[in-house]
Amino acid sequence: MGSGKRTLTTSAIVLVCAVTVLGVPAEAYASPGRPTPTPSDRSVTASVGDLEAVREKLDALYHDAAVATDAYNAAEEKSKDQSAQIVQLAREIVKGQDKLAELKDRAGAAARAQYRGGGLPPEVRLWLSSDPQGFLDDAGTVRQGERATQGLLADLTRTQHDLEQYARDASDRWKELDANRKVRAEAKKKIEKQIAAAEKLQSQLQEKERERLRKLEEEAAHKAQTAWLDSGILKEIKAKASQEGRKAVRFATRQIGKPYVWGAEGPTSYDCSGLTSQAWIAAGTPIPRTSQEQWKQLRHVDVKDMRPGDLIIYFHDATHVAMYIGHGAIIHAPRPGRRVTIAGAGSMPILGVVRPDA
């Protein structure tokens, strides 16, 4: 099948999925009212209440894991930058050392030349010279040599100072790198602790309870999406994707079904910001690695003005990010245990929207 047909097929799949998630009337998302429990079904209702508490606890655990994941990713990015700076400083130090050795050789040669010609005062050498004009010409050359020697010594001093500064900078980068390693290790412990607690909580449920829990999660997402759609916001969102935005959406679409793994940037797995950052790298526009930095550094746009390819930042602390793909839908890597998927753009609390491309 040609590349054009593949693109159309991919777009068609996304559209069908989006319609499946979002295209039914708003009433279909409303949570069905629960009847007043009779004595015979009170235990079932209590169980539903318990599962709702479990759902909220899981949300809290995975949110804390997302906070720690952002801290880990930020420390990882800083470590990469600091390592690159250390490598560059090492190269500068080697170059400076080579230059210093060359300058010392030249300075030594100049000093030896001055010593050989500097035994008598200039007026005596002029009186003894058989070629006074030649001596004066030579004297001019000597003065030029002296000025060159002074410049050589100044260059040597600057090079020594540069080397000392490079060494101090390298030492500072090493200290920062070590500090970031500790931050990263601490974040990793927090992530693993929160995920382990969530997995333990879920493992205590029976199969039927896990299925009901999954339905409760879907119901909560549908309820939030319904409220968002009922606001009429979708009628205001009319902007079309830029060329770069279409490329980013195509990349993200091809990742559907791949597992969420914290700290992952592909190609076989992703976390939420790993997916969005790699999608925009594929579109030719590198963006910050973490959702919090994406929120801080990228241009903010109103929700009503967003277009496919824009990034929606979620929760008050900007700990989740998804890519808007149109028709009220997003592609995102949800959380541990889930896969890259399509969801409703309003299924989580929206903090705001950012645009990677101008």
**Among this protein's residues, is 17 annotated catalytic?**
no
* 3-class secondary structure, 339: strand
User: Tokens representing 15?
Assistant: 């559209």
Catalytic option among 272, 300, 316, 327:
272
| DSSP for residue 351 | E
**From the candidates 17, 222, 327, 332, which is the catalytic residue?**
332
Whether 316 sits among the annotated catalytic residues: the reply is: no
Measured CA to CA, the distance from residue 34 to residue 23 in angstroms comes to 25
Helix runs in the chain, H state only = 3-22, 42-117, 122-128, 132-203, 207-230, 233-236, 243-254, 272-282, 291-297
- Is the Cβ–Cβ distance between 62 and 194 less than 8 Å? yes
Among positive and negative, which fits the CA dihedral 251, 252, 258, 263?
positive
Taking the C-alpha atoms of residue 65 and residue 14, their distance in angstroms, rounded to an integer, is: 29
The span from the CA of 131 to the CA of 19, in Å, is 101
C-alpha span between 267 and 36 (Å, rounded): 50
The phi and psi torsions of 51 (rounded to 5 degrees) equal: -65, -35
Cβ density class 27-53: b for 16+ within 10 Å, e for less: eebeeeeeeeeeeeeeeeeeebeebee
What gap in Å lies between CA 296 and CA 121, rounded to an integer?
71
Residues with a catalytic annotation lie at: 272, 320, 332
